[in-house]
Amino acid sequence: MSPKFSEKRILVKSNQCVSCGLCLPHCPTYRLLKSEADSPRGRIALMNGVVNERIPLNDKFIQHMDRCLTCRACERVCPNHVEFGNLIDEARTLIANQSKFFSSNQNSVIKVLLKKLLLVKPARLELLRQFLSFLQKRRIFNWLLAFPLSKKNNLLEFISRLPSVEFPYIKAVDGKYVKSNSWGKVYLSQVQERGKVGLFLGCIARITDAATLNASIYVLNCLGYSVHIPSNQTCCGAIHQHSGELDLAASLTMQNKIAFEEAGLNIIITTSSGCSLQLLESEADMNTNSIIDINRFLATAEGWESVQIEPLLQKIFVHDPCSLRNVSGDQAYPYELISRIPGVQAIPLTNNDQCCGAAGTYFLDQPELAGMLLDEKIISITESGTKYIVTSNIGCAMHIACGLYKKNIDIEVLHPVTLLARQMGWKL
């Protein structure tokens, strides 16, 4: 996308902001830093100033744009319906086109390799799963972290604290699920078929959240839905979109559109709210498909009368991802879903309207601010006294789980559908 096109879009959208300030108390960075330049209206004023050449596109401008989590809490309360998510993406496109401002932080090269060589190539991700499993079993990351310099690398520290890599399951001839290196193309319903759906795998989730994908297949099959998984689907493009690489994000959208259209699938189930939002907002390019978050689909699905669910006498605290709460408005469905488990009390986590700090790759790019937000979340979790935290975004889940692990707090973080599948008899 050309810089001039981004400038025009910024000019039009930024002029909608009337600087009322209603967004200020809802912005995580303004709340932490008390800096007008790190508030939504402040960032909009800066964008407008750059486009109109009143202020330069310099390091200071980039810092204030980089500090935005793109949580979009400001959009939820804006009386003039300013599309801040689009604005910050366009601003980052302008920055991305200024090569002299290429990030020099310790993770920049790794991130480029990740985005260009891995996330857009599903087959490489399948191989990476096996490689990470190999490294984990031999405790290679723990060995690397013994070196002082390694401890300062946020990405390495994060990877070292990931839970054990899990693998996909496929159905054997006898109908049982067995471990595999990759997902099957079709998982037929266990009962009379009600319909067929497509499952979007995502990219990072293929490696770090196979448990949720496996659990989703199991629950859908139990309810009478056959699950189809096109092998040529790819990353949703959210990480690229929020890095200012709008053209690449659009090409990934097109690849996914082709993948699910070729499979003849009109319903696409997503398990991560971030991916779901990215695909939904690209739906103009994927208009033949209906994209539905797994919580929403299962909460309203038929077939529950024939399913046995074991009781669980627990208070389950729910962390609402920003994408569900602030944009899609689907935050009620995870509560409805786990409330199908007899004995469960689904309770919102204290300060649930605040971002946890994960925000895609934000926790790597802005570790100090992300850490401050995470610390607040960890306090809320420990005060709850719960054994489980459920959340519907893979980024939130990994960020929170790593924070708990770092503080030696034994609380499990999992997706609502994974908890439900366990009570329905799913055993890994």
Specify the residue for token string 């003039």. 80
Domain limits for position 385: 309-423
Last residue of a domain, one of 50, 83, 101: 101
The pLDDT, as a whole number, for residue 168 is 83
Encode burial over 210-246: b for 16+ CB neighbours within 10 A, e otherwise: bbbbbbbbbbbbbbbbbbbbbeebbbbbbbbbbbbbb
Going by C-beta distance under 8 Å and a sequence separation of 6 or more, which residues neighbour residue 221? 187, 188, 189, 190, 227
Cα separation of 423 and 427, whole Å?
9
CATH for 8: 1.10.1060.10
The pLDDT, as a whole number, for residue 246 is 86
The pLDDT, as a whole number, for residue 102 is 46
In the chain, the number of structural domains is 2
Q: How many CB atoms lie within 10 A of CB 96?
A: 18
CATH for 326: 3.40.50
Cα separation of 209 and 165, whole Å?
8
Query: Parallel, antiparallel, or unpaired: how do β-strands 169-171 and 345-348 relate?
Result: unpaired
Cα separation of 289 and 136, whole Å?
38
Last residue of a domain, one of 53, 69, 101: 101
Cα separation of 288 and 266, whole Å?
6
By C-alpha distance, which of 340, 318, 309, 338 is closest to 386?
Answer: 318
The pLDDT, as a whole number, for residue 286 is 57
Last residue of a domain, one of 66, 101, 136: 101
Encode burial over 387-410: b for 16+ CB neighbours within 10 A, e otherwise: ebbbbbbbbbbbbbbbbbbeeeee
Residue 149 in any domain: the answer is no
Residue 372 in any domain: the answer is yes
Q: How many CB atoms lie within 10 A of CB 131?
A: 11
Residue 121 in any domain: the answer is no
Residue 37 in any domain: the answer is yes
What DSSP state is assigned to residue 110?
H
Residue 243 in any domain: the answer is no
pLDDT (tens place) for every residue of the chain, 428 residues total: 555 667 888 888 889 999 999 999 999 999 999 999 999 999 999 999 999 999 999 999 999 999 999 999 999 999 999 999 999 999 999 898 875 444 444 445 455 656 666 667 777 777 778 777 777 776 776 666 666 655 566 666 666 666 677 788 887 666 677 888 888 899 998 888 899 999 999 888 888 888 999 999 999 999 999 999 998 899 888 888 888 888 888 888 888 989 998 888 889 999 999 888 898 887 655 555 689 999 999 999 988 988 999 999 999 999 999 999 998 889 999 999 999 999 999 999 998 989 999 998 898 889 999 999 999 999 999 988 889 999 999 999 999 998 998 888 989 999 999 999 999 998 76
**Residues in a beta bridge with 370:** none
The pLDDT, as a whole number, for residue 110 is 52
Residue 18 in any domain: the answer is yes
The pLDDT, as a whole number, for residue 130 is 76
Residue 80 in any domain: the answer is yes
Cα-Cα-Cα-Cα dihedral of 309, 313, 315, 316, to 10°? -30
Residue 377 in any domain: the answer is yes
